């Protein structure tokens, strides 16, 4: 975390008495930097679906680093871990919901598409793949390839309610 904040560990421990609050602020900054990267990365997307694929793909690429940080917090600061986890889930779900609703408005998803159901199902599946390692991958398929296929299943590009290409 000190490296992410651009300071030495000694500075962190010498200058800040409330380590938990400091860790909280550093992690919020880390997550905000990720969000800023996603905004910049997806600025040239042709539509919200392309933006969604870009953002979720980058999330997958960063999942190992983020997972290590969160696992350290879970071990040493369990209350802080839970707070950040819940806040992150809420924030990410709100962002994803906004993107999905925009996609409905743009005609990329059928009108009765339920963003909350899609978000819940996607989170369960991705956490089984990335966090809990419960999803057994076929031989020769990387986590990244599986992730792309899962996202494509949840958010098929340009399909009508019956699944036919548009």
Residue 134 backbone dihedrals phi, psi, to 5 degrees: -90, -20
Residue, of 106 and 147, whose pLDDT is higher: 106
What SS3 state is found at 46?
coil
Among 112-116, 118-122, 129-133, which is the least confidently predicted range?
A: 129-133
CA 126 to chain centre: 10
Tokens read off for 7: 């300071």
Share above pLDDT 70 across residues of the chain, in percent, rounded to a whole number: 87
Query: Whole-angstrom Cα distance, residue 166 to residue 154?
Result: 16
> HSE (CB half, 13 Å, CA atoms) of 101?
7
The domain limits of the chain are 48-154
Predicted confidence (pLDDT) at residue 113 exceeds the cutoff of 70: yes
Query: In the predicted model, what is the mean pLDDT of residues 66-82?
Result: 93
- Please tell me the predicted confidence (pLDDT) of residue 165: 47
- Please tell me the predicted confidence (pLDDT) of residue 157: 55
Predicted confidence (pLDDT) at residue 163 exceeds the cutoff of 80: no
- Please tell me the predicted confidence (pLDDT) of residue 32: 93
**Residue-wise over 64-79: b if at least 16 C-beta within 10 A, else e?**
eebeebbeebeeebee
Predicted confidence (pLDDT) at residue 143 exceeds the cutoff of 70: yes
């Amino acid at each position: 975390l000190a490296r992410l904040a651009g300071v030495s560990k000694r500075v962190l421990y010498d200058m800040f008495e409330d380590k938990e609050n400091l860790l909280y602020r550093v992690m919020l900054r880390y997550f905000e930097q990720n969000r800023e990267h996603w905004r910049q990365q997806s600025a040239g997307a042709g539509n919200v679906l392309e933006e969604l694929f870009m953002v979720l793909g980058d999330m997958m690429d960063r999942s190992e680093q983020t997972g290590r940080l969160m696992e350290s917090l879970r071990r040493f600061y369990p209350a802080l871990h839970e707070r950040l986890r819940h806040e992150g889930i809420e924030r990410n779900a709100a962002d994803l919901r906004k993107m999905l609703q925009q996609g409905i408005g743009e005609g990329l998803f059928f009108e009765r598409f339920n963003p909350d159901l899609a978000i819940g199902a996607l989170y369960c599946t991705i956490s089984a793949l990335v966090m809990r390692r419960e999803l057994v991958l076929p031989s020769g398929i990387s986590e990244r390839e599986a992730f792309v296929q899962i996202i494509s299943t949840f958010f098929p590009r340009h399909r009508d309610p019956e699944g036919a290409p548009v």
